[in-house]
Structure 1
């Protein structure tokens, strides 16, 4: 695995070290997990923004709901 160096302030470094220790994992894995979590959070926020925008157009929203119903696949969860 190739690596690089990133600079963070000391309080961020301390927080990352604490998270690493708590999870019993490496600092690299903790930073990787943090980056993935941030990416997922931003992705979810963007999805919600787009859905809220779609809701503003009643016709488009109904088309979306109809398409969602047509493509629904039971996953057996819940």
Structure 2
């Protein structure tokens, strides 16, 4: 596996060491998981912002709700 070095402050390094010890994962795996968690968090926040923007326009929000009620997705979730 290719690797590189990143610089972090001592506090961050200590937290990464603690998290990796408590999980049994390597620091590399812990950093990988943290980066993925941050990516998912930021994605969710963007979705929330987009929903808030949509809700701020009553006509657009009504159109969205109408589409949601008439759209069927065969994903097995009721």
**TM-score if structure 1 supplies the norm length?**
0.88
The aligned counterpart of 2:40 is 40
1:15 aligns with 2:4: no
CA distance in 2, matches of 1:48, 1:32: 25
The aligned counterpart of 2:63 is 63
Q: CA deviation at 1:6?
A: 0.1
Runs of 4+ off more than 4 Å: 74-78
Question: Unaligned regions of 5+ residues in structure 1, if any?
Answer: none
The aligned counterpart of 1:27 is 27
Root mean square deviation of aligned Cα: 1.6
Question: Unaligned regions of 5+ residues in structure 2, if any?
Answer: none
**TM-score if structure 2 supplies the norm length?**
0.88
Spell out, residue by residue over 1:7-52, the C-alpha distance to the aligned partner (whole angstroms, 9 max, x if none).
Answer: 0011110100000011100100100000011111111111001100
